[in-house]
Structure 1
Amino acid sequence: MATIYVDVLVNVAKAIAENNLSKYVFMVDSTGYSGDGSEGSNELKTKCENGDTIVWSAVSINPGEEIAILGFGGQAIPNMVNPQQYPQYDGTVWGGRVNQAGTNVQYNIYMLLEGNVHMSFDPFITATNPQASR
């Protein structure tokens, strides 16, 4: 089983100013997969295997701007994956084990910007069952 890292980079000031988080979210993951056009967008399609762990981390691209992940929802939550906060990171890092296969299953990431603005967006997970060794 692998650990997949998903970085959620946010231009906090622009997202708040325009009341549009989706427009100012840039996502990448550590899978090395490319070619579907979702890399770098708010609609990232993370590919993994059932049993892998996904770790999300939120970062403001502008120093001094506060950002935190408040939680997760949507189709993939809690059956496909049930992320939990890593408390030592003050809400910026969450992780969960993938417990179910599915293709392009949408989920929501609920975020807190500058300590008082709540916003969300909805990327995807595709999890396949591991192939048996022969």
Structure 2
Amino acid sequence: MGTVDALIVVDTEGALSSGSAVDNSYLVDNNGYLGSWNEGTPTLNTVVQDGQVVNWSVTPVSPTGQVSITGFSGQMISTSVCKPAPQVGNPDVWSGRVESHGQFASLSYTIALSIGGRSMTLNSSIKVV
């Protein structure tokens, strides 16, 4: 049971022009064949196991773009299954340990982003198996 790394790639120019991160973001993780789905879309469904750590990071498509994670909310956080926080010494990566206590479920979450200084959000989910 390794760490799951999820990467958010944002077309910052497109997001700023349209006012939406949803149509301008692409999420992937390193689960490969293990069952995550909707990779390359703004609504990634990441498959995780109880006890796994998930790391979220974000990068702009353009090297001059500015984007960062500012927080998480939603069912995954409110049920205390996973509460990501910035890593000590590396605030560009947010990490959270899945603590489902044997619960198997799909849990939605919202990622808050700062894109060029503007606040925008994305919705995704984790599936605890």
Alignment of 1:1-134 (within 5 A): 1-33=1-33, 38-78=38-78, 79-89=80-90, 91-100=91-100, 101-114=103-116, 116-128=117-129
> How big is the alpha-carbon RMSD for the aligned residues of Structure 1 and Structure 2?
1.7
Letter in 1 for 2:15: A
- Runs (4+) of structure 1 exceeding 4 A deviation are 34-37
Q: Please give the TM-score of this superposition, normalised by the length of structure 1.
A: 0.87
Count, aligned residues:
126
Shift of 1:20: 1.2
Shift of 1:113: 1.0
Note the alpha carbon deviations across 1:92-134, whole angstroms, 9 max, x for none: 21001000144321100000011x2000011010012xxxxxx
Note the alpha carbon deviations across 1:33-52, whole angstroms, 9 max, x for none: 37775111111000010100
Letter in 2 for 1:27: L
| Contact 1:15/1:21 (<8 A) preserved | yes
Note the alpha carbon deviations across 1:56-109, whole angstroms, 9 max, x for none: 0100010111111001000001511010102433x4210010001443211000
Q: Which structure's CA Rg is the greater one? A: 1
SS of the residue aligned with 1:76? helix
| Contact 1:58/1:68 (<8 A) preserved | yes
CA distance in 2, matches of 1:22, 1:33: 25
Gaps of 5+ in 2: none
SS of the residue aligned with 1:23? helix
| Contact 2:36/2:46 (<8 A) preserved | no
